[in-house]
């Protein structure tokens, strides 16, 4: 009897082991992207390939495709591009890196700057430093700050989130304003103009999603401040004059009844496509969405962002933006070489990025040339790319730190409390103590 | 050879396969998650911190809010849905009702829709310029649109409406099948004794359905504790954390914020503990003998 039991047990273990073994070969059952699970590979004709994950087929994936064409380095290689939603990339990276396996991981991955420090510090040695491949001085300073950790630069800075104030010139005219009246103003003046615009045209000045703190982050960076001290870890929410001013301004906007609320991206886009709001302060990546409504051509202009009144605040900021990272596994040298050859040094490539997909990079030598002086009839002949490029040089660098999104969620709650009548100092003190207990 | 054919032993062999599989794929991860709940740190830098995670649970305002929200959904939504499902099933069980098949299908249909798809549709129906606001405006019930999704109270109402719409038909099916097993002669006897429809419902239908009511209450309770898709897609927990569910908080801790898998595991054990406690209470209240 015992023998048979033993035999059965062994059989079962064998079956289980076989299942385990199958896992690896079945790894790439991801439909069309059959090379999902491979690291660097080599095809029969000796051309090497690395894999890359990105999320936007109209933007960063297109940029990778262009990079494939532009690559002219020594090794015969190309990048296999795999499209994943950004949330999926974050999940799969976290799952893969925390289990310590590189199986199924890409060689190159795009990570949002706000999350970069969190990945770099959570998974030490998982990423490959690019310090030897690129010259940090070639890139916008605030991007280098966001992609560096412990003296090394890990990310190759990609797109800029340089922000501006998109305005409807026809609505402003109706309310008796010119674009000059809104250039280089403070948020206080912005709200006053907003009230006039609402009175004259009935249109709201701005659209906001109470559950998306992008606006707050953008205003905060314009003052060279962030949720944390310089170290990126100590919360700086209480006694942060910039943050306090933002809270007060946010409430003033709400109280002035110049805000059209939205609750997700598509409602946000439809708010200005339908002509319901007069201005949109946000990152330059919104340009294609604004231009999507062709009937409004000629009625838009882009102005510098309004500024805060605290010391050091400027009329420019950043919202979003991401960078390329190389995972520390087989094929890393090849992947790094590819990035350095294209995104890291090729000026012509950056010109193509602008002309073909309107993507504004952060590689300084690549932000000049004819492509940038192009006048855009949609924006009344304004050379908006040139303007954005100029503003992006003045973006104050800040350390985004480890916990941007966690603090976002804490502040959202406190903002509701403040809007419901609590004292601004109290809610920020509250947020500070919550952040201190939670972020350890 | 004689021993091999011993019925008992062969039986154990069959059981063994599922025992090993369940141990490997259920109990081992559960045990591992339990160990994980004593560790903390960012991403891969986990280290043992003793009971720190468990004490952090006690002063975590987000978890407190998530518990309050989940309990609100539970206390309002589960009874509402159970009563509705009972009501529908009794009506649909009436042999004199015309188009029974059509109504049954219509009420069950929501249960086969994808969670994400229906959540997104609810979100749009209740948006500022959505169909619900338009309807209320046109009927002059309200003078300006209600911000359903960004108002703490209305956001909860929308979530409760959505889950009720989705799951009522599902529970109704259980009642329908149970109703068909109740002997008609019991009702006949009751009618002869002079019981009206309401008395029949209270005195016969409900007691006969008791085991099924208990079962659906427990599964609905567990389902509500694990609520995720609807909240994430309709309100993403907002405004602020006014509609966040425990499962969403676990997700946020693991993937949205800098990952802290240790604390996330601790929070997931809160759900385990709650399910156990609530199930015990329900068994006691329903008075099961065993």
Token pair in block for residue B117? 């798809």
Please tell me which residue, A426 or B218, carries the higher pLDDT value: A426
Q: Is residue A47 part of a domain?
A: yes
Q: Is residue A265 part of a domain?
A: yes
Residues B52/B40, Cβ–Cβ less than 8 Å: yes
Residues A237 and A326 in one domain: no
Residues A345 and A409 in one domain: no
Chain A residue whose CA is closest to B16: A9
Token pair in block for residue A341? 């050859």
Residues A193 and A131 in one domain: no
Interchain CB contact of A405 with B (< 8 Å): yes
Do B17 and A12 count as a contact with CB atoms less than 8 A apart? yes
- pLDDT at residue B84, as a whole number: 93
The total number of structural domains in chain B stands at 1
Q: Is residue B282 part of a domain?
A: yes
pLDDT band at A368, cuts 50/70/90?
confident
Please tell me which residue, A438 or B264, carries the higher pLDDT value: B264
Residues A242/A250, Cβ–Cβ less than 8 Å: no
Q: What is the rounded distance in angstroms from the CA atom of residue B62 to the CA atom of residue B83?
A: 31
**Closest to A156 measured CA to CA, from A118, A107, A196, A219:** A107
- pLDDT at residue A140, as a whole number: 87
Q: In this predicted model, what pLDDT tens digit does every residue of B244-276 receive, in sequence order? A: 999 999 999 988 888 889 999 999 999 889 888
Q: Pick B61's closest partner by Cβ from A87, A260, A434.
A: A434
pLDDT at residue A19 greater than cutoff 70: no
Q: Is residue B115 part of a domain?
A: yes
Q: Is residue A269 part of a domain?
A: yes
pLDDT at residue B72 greater than cutoff 50: yes
- pLDDT at residue A8, as a whole number: 55
Sign of the Cα pseudo-torsion (A419, A421, A425, A428, in order):
negative
| Lowest mean pLDDT, pick from A71-85, A180-194, A213-227, A363-377 | A363-377
Residues A360/A389, Cβ–Cβ less than 8 Å: yes
Residues A46 and A136 in one domain: yes
Q: What is the rounded distance in angstroms from the CA atom of residue B59 to the CA atom of residue B131?
A: 41
Token pair in block for residue A66? 């262009």
- Kindly list the residues from chain A whose CB atom is less than 8 angstroms away from the CB atom of residue B56: 437
Bond preceding residue A425 cis, omega within 30 of 0: no
Interchain CB contact of A121 with B (< 8 Å): yes
Q: In this predicted model, what pLDDT tens digit does every residue of B115-152 receive, in sequence order? A: 999 999 999 899 888 899 999 999 988 888 888 888 88
Window 198-217 of B, Cβ < 8 Å to A: none
The mean pLDDT of A85-99, rounded to a whole number, is 88
- pLDDT at residue A374, as a whole number: 84
- pLDDT at residue A39, as a whole number: 47
pLDDT band at A224, cuts 50/70/90?
very high
CA distances from A241 to A214, A224, A401, A433 (A): 18, 12, 19, 17
pLDDT band at A142, cuts 50/70/90?
confident
B150 min Cα distance to partner chain A (Å): 7
Q: Is residue B207 part of a domain?
A: yes
Residues A136 and A187 in one domain: no
Q: At what angle do helices B261-286 and B206-225 cross, to 10 degrees?
A: 170
- Counting residues of chain B whose pLDDT is more than 90, the rounded percentage is 44
Q: Is residue A284 part of a domain?
A: yes
Q: Is residue A378 part of a domain?
A: no
Window 253-282 of A, Cβ < 8 Å to B: 260-264, 267
The total number of structural domains in chain A stands at 2
Residues A197 and A327 in one domain: no
Q: Is residue A223 part of a domain?
A: yes
Q: In this predicted model, what pLDDT tens digit does every residue of A310-325 receive, in sequence order? A: 999 999 999 989 999 9
Instruction: Determine which of B1, B239, B261, B265 to mutate to test the interface with A (most A C-beta atoms within 10 Å).
Output: B239
The CATH number for B103's domain is: 1.10.3720.10
Chain B residue whose CA is closest to A120: B43
Q: Is residue B44 part of a domain?
A: no
**Closest to A278 measured CA to CA, from A191, A144, A167:** A167
Full residue range of the structural domain in which residue A356 is found: 41-161+320-367
Residues A154 and A167 in one domain: no
Token pair in block for residue A333? 């040298």
Residues A406/B258, Cβ–Cβ less than 8 Å: yes
pLDDT at residue B51 greater than cutoff 50: yes
Token pair in block for residue A210? 């109470």
pTM, full prediction: 0.81
What ranges make up the beta strands (E) of A124-229?
Answer: 148-149, 152-153, 155-157, 163-168, 206-208
Residues A203 and A295 in one domain: yes
Residues A423 and A333 in one domain: no
* Residues with Cβ within 8 Å of residue B231, at least 6 apart in sequence: B159, B237, B243, B244, B245, B248
Q: What is the rounded distance in angstroms from the CA atom of residue A385 to the CA atom of residue A358?
A: 8
Q: Pick B240's closest partner by Cβ from A91, A260, A412.
A: A412
pLDDT at residue A20 greater than cutoff 50: no
Residues A240 and A313 in one domain: yes
Q: Is residue A93 part of a domain?
A: yes
The mean pLDDT of B213-224, rounded to a whole number, is 89
Mean of the per-residue pLDDT values for chain A? 86
Residue given tokens 């009522």 in the structure block: B168
Residues A230 and A307 in one domain: yes
Residues A168 and A281 in one domain: yes
Phi, psi of B35 (to 5 degrees): -60, -40
Pairs of residues, one from chain A and one from chain B, whose beta carbons lie less than 8 Å apart: 105
- Kindly list the residues from chain B whose CB atom is less than 8 angstroms away from the CB atom of residue A12: 16-17, 20
Full residue range of the structural domain in which residue B275 is found: 61-286
The CATH number for A65's domain is: 3.40.190.10
Q: Is residue B84 part of a domain?
A: yes
Q: What is the rounded distance in angstroms from the CA atom of residue A97 to the CA atom of residue A126?
A: 7
Q: In this predicted model, what pLDDT tens digit does every residue of A239-280 receive, in sequence order? A: 899 999 999 999 999 999 999 988 888 889 999 999 999 999
- pLDDT at residue A32, as a whole number: 37
**In terms of C-beta density within 10 A (0-12 exposed, 13-18 middle, 19 or more buried), how is residue B174 classed?**
middle
């Amino acid at each position: 009897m015992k023998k048979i039991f033993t035999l059965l047990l062994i059989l079962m273990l064998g079956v289980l082991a076989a299942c385990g073994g199958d896992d690896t070969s079945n790894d790439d059952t991801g439909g069309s992207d059959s090379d999902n699970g491979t690291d660097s590979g080599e095809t029969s004709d000796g051309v090497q390939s690395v894999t890359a994950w990105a999320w936007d087929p109209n933007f960063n994936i297109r940029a990778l495709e262009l990079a494939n064409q532009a690559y002219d380095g020594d090794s015969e290689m190309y990048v296999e591009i795999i499209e994943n939603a950004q949330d999926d990339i974050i999940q799969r990276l976290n799952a893969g890196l925390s289990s310590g396996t590189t199986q199924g991981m890409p060689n190159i991955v795009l990570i949002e700057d706000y999350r970069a420090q969190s990945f770099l510090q959570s998974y030490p040695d998982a990423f490959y430093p690019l310090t030897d491949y690129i010259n940090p001085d070639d890139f916008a300073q605030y991007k280098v700050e966001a992609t560096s950790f412990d003296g090394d630069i890990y990310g190759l800075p990609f797109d800029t989130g340089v922000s501006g104030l998109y305005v409807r010139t026809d609505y402003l005219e109706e309310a008796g304003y010119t674009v000059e009246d809104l250039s280089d103003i403070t948020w206080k003046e912005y709200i006053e103009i907003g009230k006039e615009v609402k009175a004259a045209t009935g249109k709201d000045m701005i659209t906001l999603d109470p559950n998306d703190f992008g606006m707050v982050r953008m205003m905060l960076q314009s003052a060279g401040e962030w949720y944390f001290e310089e170290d990126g870890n100590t919360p700086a929410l209480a006694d942060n004059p910039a943050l306090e001013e933002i809270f007060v301004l946010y409430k003033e906007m709400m109280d002035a009844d110049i805000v059209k609320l939205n609750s997700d991206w598509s409602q946000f886009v439809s708010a200005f496509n339908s002509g319901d709001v007069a201005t949109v302060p946000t990152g330059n990546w919104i340009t294609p969405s604004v231009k999507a409504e062709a009937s409004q051509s000629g009625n838009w202009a882009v102005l510098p962002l309004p500024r805060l009144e605290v010391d050091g605040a400027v009329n420019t900021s950043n919202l979003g933006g991401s960078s390329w990272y190389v995972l520390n596994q087989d094929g890393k040298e090849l992947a790094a070489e590819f990035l350095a050859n294209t995104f890291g040094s090729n000026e012509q490539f950056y010109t193509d990025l602008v002309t073909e997909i309107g993507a504004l990079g952060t590689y300084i030598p690549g932000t000049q040339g004819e492509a940038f002086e192009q006048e855009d009839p949609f924006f009344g002949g304004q050379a908006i790319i040139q303007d954005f490029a100029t503003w992006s040089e003045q973006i104050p660098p800040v350390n985004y730190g480890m916990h941007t999104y966690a603090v976002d969620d804490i502040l959202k709650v406190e903002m509701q409390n403040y809007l419901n009548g609590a004292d601004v100092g109290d809610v920020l003190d509250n947020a500070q103590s919550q952040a201190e207990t939670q972020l350890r | 050879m004689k021993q091999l054919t011993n019925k008992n032993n062969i039986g154990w062999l069959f059981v063994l396969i599922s025992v090993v599989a369940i141990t490997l794929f259920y109990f081992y991860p559960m045990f591992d998650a339990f160990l994980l709940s004593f560790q903390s740190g960012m991403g891969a830098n986990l280290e043992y911190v003793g009971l720190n995670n468990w004490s952090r649970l006690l002063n975590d305002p987000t978890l407190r809010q998530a518990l309050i929200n989940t309990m609100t959904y539970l206390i309002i939504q589960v009874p509402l849905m159970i009563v509705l499902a009972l009501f529908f099933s009794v009506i649909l069980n009436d042999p004199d009702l015309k188009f029974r098949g059509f109504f049954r299908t219509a009420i069950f249909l929501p249960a086969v829709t994808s969670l994400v798809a229906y959540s997104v549709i609810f979100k749009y129906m209740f948006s500022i310029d959505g169909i619900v606001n338009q309807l209320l405006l046109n009927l002059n019930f309200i003078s300006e649109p209600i911000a359903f999704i960004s108002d703490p109270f209305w956001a909860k109402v929308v979530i409760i409406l959505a889950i009720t719409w989705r799951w009522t038909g599902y529970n109704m099916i259980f009642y329908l099948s149970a109703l068909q097993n109740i002997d008609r002669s019991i009702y006949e006897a009751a009618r002869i004794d002079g019981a009206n429809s309401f008395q029949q419902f209270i005195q016969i239908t409900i007691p006969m359905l008791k085991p099924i009511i208990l079962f659906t209450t427990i599964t609905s309770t567990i389902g509500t504790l694990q609520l995720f898709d609807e909240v994430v897609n309709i309100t993403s927990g907002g405004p602020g954390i006014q509609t966040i569910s425990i499962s969403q908080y676990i997700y946020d801790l693991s993937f949205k914020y800098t990952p802290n898998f240790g604390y996330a595991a601790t929070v997931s054990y809160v759900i385990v503990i709650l399910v156990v406690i609530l199930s015990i209470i329900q068994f006691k209240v329903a008075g099961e003998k065993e």
